[in-house]
Structure 1
Amino acid sequence: MSVFNYFKANNNVQIKGKSAVKCDYKLKEPHGDIEAWTFQDIAFKAELDRHDDPELEKEAFILCAEEPAARARNIAELRDLIYERGECQPPRTDDAFLLRFLRARRSIPARAHRLLVRYCNFRDQNPHLWRDVDWFGLTRLGNLIEGVLFDRPDVGRLIICRLGLWDPDEFSIDDLLRGCLLMLEVGILQPKLQVLGGNVLLDCHGLTLKHIRQFSPAVALQIINIMGFAFPTHQRGVHVINCSRVFETLFHFFKRLAPVDELWKKVHFHGNDLNSLYRLIDPECLPKRYGGQRVEVSLAQWLTKIKKYKNKDFDNDMRSLGYAAD
């Protein structure tokens, strides 16, 4: 369900052209308390929505080759592959969990199975990124990781990693990876984001050799896996801005050590040229910091709101993935 449909369904407000929403409506909480909500509050609450929006069927067909009539059959075929081949032991095999892998691989069960095997192997090799991690404790990362909740169909969710703000003496590289991974794991609980996918913006402004020394080949491989090689996300693009030649050279060095994958074609280096970025991402979808029109949301703010609005289903989802939950 889109934010706009959620707004109309829960508050009986007529919205014209999906652009007339104001931030001073008095809305009812599910428990009957009255408080002033901003539009952003509504967007945060929609982050926990688990229902497939019929309005997304067209995008699901275009982006994921998904046909409603074939969905159950594809899920069953993927589940059969898991049991027949025995190559992985996923944390879950329910329909909702398997569907995200199908959507990330054009609804082809064999491709979805290969992705699931890589995902499970990555989890087995890096349990410290999930197991017993206090997900709410990652608010300490502040605005090192940000998101834009605009989710336009041609861009999807925009996730921003501001590498230059990272202090390696305060936060380990593992903490940074945990934060990125958490934003992705929670994000793909939403059917909308399973379909639309997203773009990653790596802002290297302020990046120094002290930061670069943290990127070993092993860490680089972890990043590649999280970006989509071993994660069920529809990765639409990775955009690197404000980067030096040193960082770009390092990237190409690690690329030679990594598996061959279509993902590499989606990595774009823009240097300090924002016009180059605009050719691939409309400024309407970018934060004002980058010449856009949107308001970014920090990881800390996002997790605080998720904690406020979460329910038992969310807690169960997090536990099934290995996270510590209330």
Structure 2
Amino acid sequence: MLRFEEIAFKAELNRDEDPESDRDAWLLCGEDPMNRKRAIEELRKMIYERGECHPHRTDDAYLLKFLRARRSVPARAHRLMVRYYNFRDENPHLWRDVDWLGLRRLGDIFEGVLFDRPDCGRFILCRLGQWDPDTIPVDDLIRGLLLLLEIGIMQPKLQILGGTAMVDCQGLTMKHIRQLTPAIAVQAMNIMGIIFPTHIRSMHIVNCSRIFETFFYLFKKLAPVDDLWKNVYFHGYDLNSLHRYVDPECLPRRYGGCRDPVSLELWLTKIRQYKNKEFDEEMRNLGYAVD
């Protein structure tokens, strides 16, 4: 492993705010350093006065990631927090006592590119055709997505930059589609755009047939949120179409880019290698099983 890659993996555990990110925080999250403390206090006051959710943390750093996901508007951040904790209450099986390291079994179904910049954020990829429904239950796909995002937004840089998502449908069969029930689809859509404290810049669907595209649009009726769907793009098998929206410099090589992606399996292995007590405590507070 090249040394610069090891530095990138170590940086995944960085929890320090970088003053050099203030400009990006202003442009991407509407965050004014002069008013940051006031927005945090306003959000904290809403939580206590309204009692609509009971977060496991209310310290400044934790509340800040909800504000960053909603353009630093306390009322919007509060609504997001209520949705997030309602989702957790309704779906405890996705977090409670889940062996986070055991989700390495998902292999390279999920990948990421450790090359983050303001116009793309973190590029994350789901390769649905790599999933074997006979050995991996569909709930594990949702658990893997949640885990990827939960760990990612512990890093202040990614709270600011957000991410760009892509779903690769190559190899997808009816065996896969039968497992992707409306309930699962709604969960995934909610996580990516409605209930989770991150901002997904756009979502791109590649290597999909017209049949799957029609199938995908059926889910739109189940999650009719304009802000979610206006940034979803279908490219079929046309990589040139994808490149009009995502700079190839941010993409894996197999999509005409110049980056080597990191599988969820490798990423979690490196997280374990470099994790500390702070990381373990937060994972435990979220409900995960911690060794």
Whether the TM-score (by the shorter chain) exceeds 0.5 is yes
Structure 1 residue 228 displacement after superposition: 2.2
- SS for the counterpart of 2:15 is coil
Structure 1 residue 83 displacement after superposition: 1.2
1:273 aligns to 2:241 (yes or no): no
Unpaired runs of at least 5, structure 2: none
Distance in 1, matches of 2:54 and 2:184, equals 24
Cα distance 1:105–1:163, how it changes in 2: closer, same or farther (>3 A)? same
1:82 maps to 47
1:165 to 111, 130, 134: 130
2:206 maps to 241
1:139 to 75, 97, 104: 104
2:36 maps to 71
Structure 1 residue 202 displacement after superposition: 0.3
Q: How many residues align?
A: 291
Q: Give me the TM-score of the superposition, normalised by structure 1.
A: 0.88
Contact 1:122–1:225, Cα closer than 8 Å, also in 2:
no
1:303 aligns to 2:234 (yes or no): no
Moved more, 185-194 or 67-76: 67-76
1:219 to 179, 184, 188: 184
Structure 1 residue 96 displacement after superposition: 1.1
Bigger radius of gyration among the two: 1
Distance in 1, matches of 2:207 and 2:257, equals 16
1:44 maps to 9
2:85 maps to 120
Q: Any idea what the Cα deviations from partners look like across 1:287-326, whole Å, max 9, x if unmatched?
A: 1111111110000100000000000000011111111112
1:95 to 42, 60, 84: 60
Name the amino acid aligned to 1:234. Answer: H
1:294 maps to 259
Structure 1 residue 246 displacement after superposition: 2.2
- SS for the counterpart of 2:44 is helix
- SS for the counterpart of 2:85 is helix
Distance in 1, matches of 2:269 and 2:32, equals 36
Q: Any idea what the Cα deviations from partners look like across 1:56-114, whole Å, max 9, x if unmatched?
A: 11110000000111111111111111111111112221111111110000000000001
What is the correspondence of 1:160-199 to structure 2 with a 5 Å cutoff? 160-199=125-164
Distance in 2, matches of 1:221 and 1:104, equals 20
Contact 1:130–1:323, Cα closer than 8 Å, also in 2:
yes
1:154 aligns to 2:119 (yes or no): yes
1:59 maps to 24
- SS for the counterpart of 2:230 is helix
- SS for the counterpart of 2:34 is helix
- SS for the counterpart of 1:128 is helix
- SS for the counterpart of 1:51 is coil
Moved more, 200-209 or 92-101: 92-101
1:313 to 250, 274, 278: 278
Contact 1:229–1:261, Cα closer than 8 Å, also in 2:
no
Q: Higher RCO, 1 or 2 (CA under 8 Å, sep at least 6)?
A: 2
1:106 maps to 71
Name the amino acid aligned to 1:141. Answer: L
- SS for the counterpart of 2:108 is coil
Distance in 2, matches of 1:54 and 1:200, equals 27
1:200 aligns to 2:165 (yes or no): yes
Distance in 2, matches of 1:198 and 1:290, equals 17
Q: Give me the TM-score of the superposition, normalised by structure 2.
A: 0.98
- SS for the counterpart of 1:89 is coil
Distance in 1, matches of 2:15 and 2:159, equals 11
Q: Any idea what the Cα deviations from partners look like across 1:5-56, whole Å, max 9, x if unmatched?
A: xxxxxxxxxxxxxxxxxx8xxxxxxxxxxxxx62110000000000111111
Name the amino acid aligned to 1:194. Answer: Q
Q: Any idea what the Cα deviations from partners look like across 1:219-275, whole Å, max 9, x if unmatched?
A: 111001110210001110110000112221122111112242401111111110001
Unpaired runs of at least 5, structure 1: 1-22, 24-36
1:253 maps to 218
